Structure 1
Amino acid sequence: MSKCLSLPGIQKVWYIPCNRLPDDVVYRAVAGIPISLQETPTIITLNGEAVCEVEQSFDNNSYIEKAKLQFLTLDDVPADQHPTFVIKTANNELYLLGAKERPYPTVKITSSTGQPDGDASVRKYEVSFTARKALALCTG
């Protein structure tokens, strides 16, 4: 049996290369320890609203979470650096999606051309991350 959680509205999204994170993010998140970011992440200018859903399922005597973050932007996020993402929700909580260790978040990028009436061409990012705790509470 699985259940799906959805975060309240997302205000901001940042990225940070995974090698700039502390060790054992997933284990700290499972233990309920907020992750402290030592470096300032890079802001992503959102075009529209970002959405993040977390699906929790019970498998092999433990819970597994799969987080899926989707957003549109004109910015270029360097996917070759294994980016992790920081999400700020409407209730001012910060969450980290990703970890320093493998498996890294999967980043799918879809580019599209703009509409003839003047809409800008945007990139659609779909980020997915599966771990015992896919979204870790963090402090800025």
Structure 2
Amino acid sequence: MHASLLSPGMMYKHLAGIPVAVMAAGTRVSFFGEPTCQAVEEDDNNGNVEKTTFTFCTNDELPSSENVVWAVQQASGQWWLIGCRERPRPVMKVTSTTGTTNGDPAVKTVEISHQARKSLIPVAL
């Protein structure tokens, strides 16, 4: 979904203990295999920084806007937001592969990375 559709200050609301909800509609992206999402918290000289990496394989057309945030649903039904309205923005890296002779399909491997004080925000959709 486009970042401009989100309310301002979502990361700070979450850090303050205020529940965060998203009312914007996004575009669903289908995937192959099992996507992975990992958030690692590190201590930086100015405080804690969280680095999130979300990886999946798809053949769908992906949004090309630089202001895209990602809503991810885990198996239990919990939704997470990668990125928010304010900078820094998530970075998308796409690697295209051709199929192999043993039947593996041609896919795009997508890696979304984001680094912020809180980069993986639990949300209600």
**TM over 0.5, yes or no?**
yes
Greater shift in the superposed pair: 18-27 or 122-131: 18-27
Give the length in aligned residue pairs: 125
CA distance in 2, matches of 1:80, 1:112: 23
Report the secondary structure of 1:83's partner residue.
coil
Q: Which residue of 2 aligns with 1:136?
A: 121
Query: AA paired with 1:45?
Result: S
Paired residues for 1:1-140 under 5 Å: 16-140=1-125
Structure 1: distance between partners of 2:19 and 2:117: 15
1:17 shift after superposition: 1.4
Task: Work out the CA distance in 2 between the residues paired with 1:123 and 1:70.
Answer: 11
TM-score by length of 1: 0.82
TM-score (norm 2): 0.91
Q: CA deviation at 1:30?
A: 1.3
How much has 1:116 moved relative to structure 2? 3.0
Secondary structure of 2:112's counterpart equals: strand
Distance (whole Å) between structure 1 residues aligned to residue 61 and residue 39 of structure 2? 25
- State the AA in 2 paired with 1:76: E
Aligned amino acid, residue 65 of structure 2: D
SS of structure 2 residue aligned to 1:29:
helix
Structure richer in strand, relative to its length:
1
Q: Percent identity?
A: 32
Q: CA RMSD in A?
A: 1.5
Q: Return the alpha-carbon distance in structure 1 between the equivalents of residues 20 and 49 of structure 2.
A: 19
